[in-house]
Amino acid sequence: MQARQLPQMVTHEVLNQAQALENYNAYSRNLALQEAVGREGAGWAHDWLVARGAEVGSAEWIEHGRLANTHPPQMRLFDRYGHRRDEVEFHPSWHECLGWLKGHGCDTGPWADPKPGAHVARAAAFVQFAEIEAGSLCPTTMTYGAVPVLKHVPELARDWMPLLLSRQYDRRFIPATDKRGVLIGMGLTEKQGGSDVRANTTRAERLDDASWRIVGHKWFLSAPMCDAFLVTAQTPKGLSCFFVPRWTPDGRLNEIRIQRFKDKLGDRSNAGTEAEFWGATAWLVGEEGRGIPTVLEMGVYTRLDCALGSTGLLRAALSQALHHAGQRAAFGKLLRQQPLMMNVLADMALESEAATALSLRLARAFDAQDDEREALLRRLLTPVAKLWICKRCPTVVAEAMEVHGGNGYVEEGPMPRLFRQSPLNSIWEGSGNVMCLDALRALTKQSKSADVLAAEFAGALGQNAAFDRHVAQLQLDLRDSVGIEASARRLTQDIALAVQAALLLRFAPQPVSEAFCASRLGGDWGQVLGTLGRQTDFETILQRAWPQ
């Protein structure tokens, strides 16, 4: 029998499509991150971070990130006989991700092995993991923030600290006493209010044995498979903070009833739930009636991680865009060689480098726990960095998506997931306005904050006229309290830009710092990315940012 000839139209060669960005070292080619790690005191972690970069850039780990998100968690409220389980089942890749994060101390490494630069080294690993999977960072950061809070409660610390500081992730849903490592979540937000936690209606009642009973609800309770939660509830003395384990010490499931999953825009790998407390057993953490300062102690760490997480998302989006533009041609030239596309890519690269510099500088302030100057800086820069980096993130991710053309909008690629994730860090852990008001509070309550800030600019003054002018105006604005609340976003933005510019002027190659200052401070910029001035050294900026 004669073979049937296919018409020529049926087959075609696939041309001009980029290869996936994988099997590369996400750290070795992230020069901005490497240099920041070195100058912020964690140069000793270089080899360790190179090894993490190889993992994060590998096809295997990128696939874990994809699978954890394409197979979202499943609720198992009851067992087959109708007993309550309130359990959530995850894809194995979710567990792999948490195993990586806990195994490398991204939750409690700096507490388990404190040394100069420990928070910075952890920050760099956290940023890198954010490039491939963001949902698992949620229980990781809550556990990071819970440690300093739980240290104040010797009875809880005695039993829980070894498990918190452990490098073993234990996925089993069993009492903590039988586990090799634990994770902590938190429940603050209720239906009637999240930013204003004072509006909580959940109540706590003291029992004879010094434990408490919690009755109420939480409107958002993420990562419900955590082994315990820090939960706010009202007592006769006011809002207080409680430690609520998933299992009671006598081995019963605690009375935390999951109601339903949140159907979220992104963060799909992570389970977000609504929960009710039906007389859950709890222990007081911190002073009764002082729940807000107690949970804020945790919040400082989780807010740092929002800035770090968005730094990772920004870098991931930039890397994908650069990689694509280096392989895709249009009108006879690679996109990467088209002058207008070079402007877009360089503008994104500036944003990514500035975010990296600011968030790693902030991480250093967490290393110097006993230094008064660094403490003031930490207090002010945490809300500033969280506001600014998390706000810039969706803008850059959307632009990076467009660099991919239609491919960027298709779920098979990484861009839709990055895009859905990109606004979240700005919303939780204190939304944008709340961060700005917090920055104002830091400035007004701690009179030395402005001086400490000024010291950050000192080494960069005299190098760039736009920067000098920006700092001079900022100093005036900081002294003027008229209408200050309404302009808190503007002020927070101006502080963030000044700190970023100072870091770039001091440490980044001149083409980067000059383009950043000219565009962000000097007015030589438009309303969209890709509007850097004509004199910009695009080539140098792009080569520095290139991921491979």
Interface residues with ligand FAD (CB under 6 A)? 185-189, 193-196, 220-222, 264, 267, 272, 424, 427-429, 431-434, 437
Sign of CA dihedral 79, 82, 86, 90: positive
| Minimum CB distance to ligand FAD, residue 160 (Å) | 19
Backbone φ, ψ for residue 98 (5° rounding): -65, -35
| Minimum CB distance to ligand FAD, residue 326 (Å) | 34
- In contact, 275 and 218? CB cutoff 8 Å: yes
| Cβ closest to ligand FAD, residue 137 vs residue 188 | 188
| Cβ closest to ligand FAD, residue 50 vs residue 437 | 437
CA–CA separation, 61 vs 139, rounded Å? 19
| Cβ closest to ligand FAD, residue 128 vs residue 189 | 189
CA–CA separation, 517 vs 524, rounded Å? 9
| Cβ closest to ligand FAD, residue 95 vs residue 262 | 262
Tokens of 457: 């600019």
Rg (CA), the chain: 24
Of all helices (H) and strands (E), which one includes residue 243?
A: strand 238-245
116's torsion region: left (phi>0), alpha (psi -120 to 50) or beta?
beta
| Minimum CB distance to ligand FAD, residue 275 (Å) | 10
- In contact, 194 and 219? CB cutoff 8 Å: yes
| Minimum CB distance to ligand FAD, residue 522 (Å) | 30
| Cβ closest to ligand FAD, residue 112 vs residue 296 | 296
CA dihedral 162, 167, 172, 178 (to 10 degrees): -30
| Minimum CB distance to ligand FAD, residue 383 (Å) | 12
| Minimum CB distance to ligand FAD, residue 222 (Å) | 3
| H helices present in 104-257, as ranges | 109-112, 118-130, 137-150, 154-165
| Minimum CB distance to ligand FAD, residue 208 (Å) | 29
| Minimum CB distance to ligand FAD, residue 85 (Å) | 20
| Cβ closest to ligand FAD, residue 194 vs residue 326 | 194
Q: What is the largest CA-CA distance in the chain?
A: 92
Compute CA distances 314 → 55, 244, 351, 486, 522, whole Å. 19, 35, 8, 29, 23
| Cβ closest to ligand FAD, residue 299 vs residue 511 | 299
| Cβ closest to ligand FAD, residue 145 vs residue 187 | 187
Q: 277: Cβ–Cβ under 8 A, 6 or more apart, which residues?
A: 202, 214, 215, 216, 217, 218, 231, 233, 244, 255, 256, 257
No. of helices (H) and no. of strands (E), the chain: 19, 11
Tokens of 340: 């207008």
CA–CA separation, 182 vs 144, rounded Å? 11
| Minimum CB distance to ligand FAD, residue 150 (Å) | 17
CA–CA separation, 219 vs 124, rounded Å? 32
| Cβ closest to ligand FAD, residue 428 vs residue 538 | 428
Please name which of 168, 56, 152 lies closest in space to residue 112, comparing C-alpha atoms: 168
| Cβ closest to ligand FAD, residue 175 vs residue 272 | 272
**Taking the mean position of all CA atoms in its chain, how far away is CA 318?**
16
CA angle, 108 then 114 then 115, to 5°: 135
| Minimum CB distance to ligand FAD, residue 428 (Å) | 4
| Cβ closest to ligand FAD, residue 222 vs residue 492 | 222
| Minimum CB distance to ligand FAD, residue 289 (Å) | 19
Q: Which residue number places its CB atom closest to ligand FAD?
A: 194
| Cβ closest to ligand FAD, residue 138 vs residue 517 | 138
Residue with tokens 């975010």: 355
Beta pairing class for 238-245 and 272-285: antiparallel
CA angle, 363 then 224 then 76, to 5°: 150
DSSP 521: I
| Minimum CB distance to ligand FAD, residue 170 (Å) | 21
DSSP 15: -
| Minimum CB distance to ligand FAD, residue 312 (Å) | 17
| Minimum CB distance to ligand FAD, residue 173 (Å) | 18
| Cβ closest to ligand FAD, residue 34 vs residue 234 | 234
CA–CA separation, 42 vs 121, rounded Å? 6
Burial class of residue 524, CB neighbours in 10 A (0-12, 13-18, 19+): middle
CA–CA separation, 97 vs 313, rounded Å? 16
Q: 7: Cβ–Cβ under 8 A, 6 or more apart, which residues?
A: none
| Cβ closest to ligand FAD, residue 185 vs residue 326 | 185
